[in-house]
């Protein structure tokens, strides 16, 4: 156990049996007939609680972020739960991530002794939290979008007592749709681009502020590119299946995936974000760099995570499918999540107890923003306290 200031950290191991048709995670995380998960429990020293706030991201570990640490410093117990795909979402199947999250929540109740569970869905964990809660309250998923068995219904996910959607996007698929570069004409040759759709080509006559006509054309081209990739994915999967051999999956690269006009034009869905910048740095550099969204994928992962027409984790649909209390938080200077996403989730939510708040000046990570970090943490704590979910 590691201690720091007024909070302490404890490693948590959760394991459960699972038989897969083929290995999709490297090492010991998800093969050999079992799934092994690692999380970090963060607690304030000498403060007990029967409520646990659980954070999970499909592809990241969250214990180093300011959000969970500040929540613990303000008296809350936090579990940062890593999925089997932590730090590598190339092959991630979101339906299986639900099983991982469900295993943590069951462990939190049956082993750690917490009575109440709060799902805090930050960033990419927001749509995951909505997906989880919708399937916990109204289970329906028995297969992944590729048709592989993932029987969420039979698992019996334990519903959370409340959901917080913080600095989060509608879904991985919707975020990719908003930011993918539609100028790419040949998926195998990213240098073959339509110059009229290339935001980063100085010779492109379409420059900020963009006209409504250009934005409409651009958005249509983004959707068309997404669907071209999906068509290829489904055709390739069908061919592998028809071959009847041992080759059942394939990895591929999606080039140029960070070209949202909003990064360059502050008049589009205006907020307090920095123009010409994003949470990963210079958007033109990130657009073709190695850390782009969906840069590396498998066929099945594309359908589960990134296909706008196939992913089950659509936040708008999921938000309309559960009734647990919901708090939606928008950061007004968010440099990762498009400005309309949080409000759209709030409006779609079916919960009879839902709240919406904006953290003025808050960026995606609250990096170097102690005031905004303390403000949002106090907001969450007070909202939970008003509903009898924490006693602080």
The pLDDT assigned to 27 comes to: 61
pLDDT range class, residue 33, cuts 50, 70, 90: confident
322/257 same-domain check: no
Tell me the C-alpha distance between 193 and 175, whole Å: 22
Q: Answer whether residue 157 is part of any domain.
A: yes
pLDDT range class, residue 24, cuts 50, 70, 90: confident
280/327 same-domain check: no
The pLDDT assigned to 5 comes to: 57
Over the stretch 101-115, which tens digit does the pLDDT of each residue have?
Answer: 999 999 999 999 999
Percent of the residues in the chain that have a pLDDT greater than 90, as a whole number: 92
25/147 same-domain check: yes
Over the stretch 130-150, which tens digit does the pLDDT of each residue have?
Answer: 999 999 999 999 999 999 999
| Residue 232 belongs to domain spanning | 182-306
Average pLDDT, the chain: 94
Name the residue among 255, 336, 305, 309 with its Cα closest to residue 85: 305
281/326 same-domain check: no
CA distances from 157 to 111, 246, 355 (A): 16, 33, 25
What is the pTM assigned to this prediction? 0.95
107/208 same-domain check: no
pLDDT range class, residue 1, cuts 50, 70, 90: very low
Q: Which of 306, 324, 352 is the last residue of a domain?
A: 306
Region 370-379: what's the mean pLDDT? 96
285/355 same-domain check: no
Query: Which phi and psi (to 5°) does residue 270 adopt?
Result: -65, 140
pLDDT range class, residue 250, cuts 50, 70, 90: very high
Write out the two tokens for 302: 């594309």
The pLDDT assigned to 199 comes to: 97
**Worst-scoring range by mean pLDDT, 42-51, 129-138, 220-229?**
42-51
Instruction: Identify whether the C-beta of residue 162 lies closer than 8 Å to the C-beta of residue 387.
Output: yes
The pLDDT assigned to 119 comes to: 98
Region 319-329: what's the mean pLDDT? 98
2-4/77-82 β-pairing: unpaired
Containing 55, the helix (H) or strand (E) segment is strand 51-57
296/319 same-domain check: no
| CATH number of the domain where residue 107 is located | 3.40.50.1820
The pLDDT assigned to 3 comes to: 37
Region 334-345: what's the mean pLDDT? 96
pLDDT range class, residue 29, cuts 50, 70, 90: low
Region 248-271: what's the mean pLDDT? 96
pLDDT over threshold 70, residue 30: no
Instruction: Identify whether the C-beta of residue 298 lies closer than 8 Å to the C-beta of residue 146.
Output: no
Q: Answer whether residue 391 is part of any domain.
A: no
**Worst-scoring range by mean pLDDT, 83-87, 161-165, 314-318?**
83-87
Over the stretch 357-374, which tens digit does the pLDDT of each residue have?
Answer: 999 999 999 999 999 999
The pLDDT assigned to 26 comes to: 64
Provide the domain count of the chain: 2
Instruction: Identify whether the C-beta of residue 355 lies closer than 8 Å to the C-beta of residue 326.
Output: yes
338/296 same-domain check: no
pLDDT over threshold 90, residue 31: no
68/88 same-domain check: yes
Region 265-284: what's the mean pLDDT? 94
């Amino acid at each position: 156990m590691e201690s720091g200031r007024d909070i302490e950290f404890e490693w948590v191991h959760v394991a459960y049996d699972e038989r897969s048709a083929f290995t999709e995670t490297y090492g010991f995380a998800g093969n050999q007939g079992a799934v092994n998960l690692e999380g970090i429990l963060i607690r304030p020293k000498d403060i007990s609680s029967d409520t646990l706030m659980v954070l999970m991201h499909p592809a990241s570990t969250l214990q180093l972020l300011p959000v969970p640490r500040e929540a613990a410093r303000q008296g809350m117990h936090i579990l940062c739960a890593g999925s089997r795909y932590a730090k590598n979402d190339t092959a991630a199947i979101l339906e299986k991530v639900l099983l991982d999250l469900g295993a943590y929540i069951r462990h939190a109740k049956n082993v750690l002794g917490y009575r109440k569970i709060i799902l805090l869905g930050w960033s990419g964990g927001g749509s995951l939290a909505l997906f989880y809660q919708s399937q916990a309250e109204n289970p329906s998923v028995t297969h992944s979008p590729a048709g592989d068995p993932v029987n969420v219904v039979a698992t019996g996910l334990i519903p959370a007592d409340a959901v917080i959607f913080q600095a989060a996007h509608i879904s991985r698929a919707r975020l990719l749709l908003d930011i993918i570069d539609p100028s790419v004409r040949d998926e195998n040759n990213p240098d073959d681009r339509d110059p009229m759709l290339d935001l980063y080509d100085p010779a492109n006559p379409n420059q900020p502020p963009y006209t409504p006509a250009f934005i409409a054309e651009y958005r249509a081209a983004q959707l068309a590119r997404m669907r071209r990739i999906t068509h290829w994915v489904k055709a390739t999967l069908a061919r592998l299946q028809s071959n009847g051999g041992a080759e059942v999956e394939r990895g591929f690269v999606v080039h140029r995936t960070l070209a949202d006009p909003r990064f360059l034009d502050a008049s589009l869905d205006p907020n307090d974000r920095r123009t010409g910048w994003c949470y990963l740095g210079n958007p033109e550099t990130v657009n073709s760099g190695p850390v782009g969204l969906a840069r590396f994928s498998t066929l099945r992962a594309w359908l589960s995570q990134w296909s706008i027409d196939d992913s089950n984790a659509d936040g708008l649909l999921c938000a309309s499918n559960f009734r647990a209390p919901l708090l939606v938080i928008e950061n007004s200077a968010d440099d990762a999540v498009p400005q309309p996403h949080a409000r759209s989730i709030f409006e779609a939510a079916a919960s009879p107890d839902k709240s919406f708040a904006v953290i003025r000046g808050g960026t995606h990570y609250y990096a170097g923003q102690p005031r905004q970090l303390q403000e949002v943490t106090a907001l969450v704590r007070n909202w939970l306290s008003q509903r009898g979910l924490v006693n602080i």
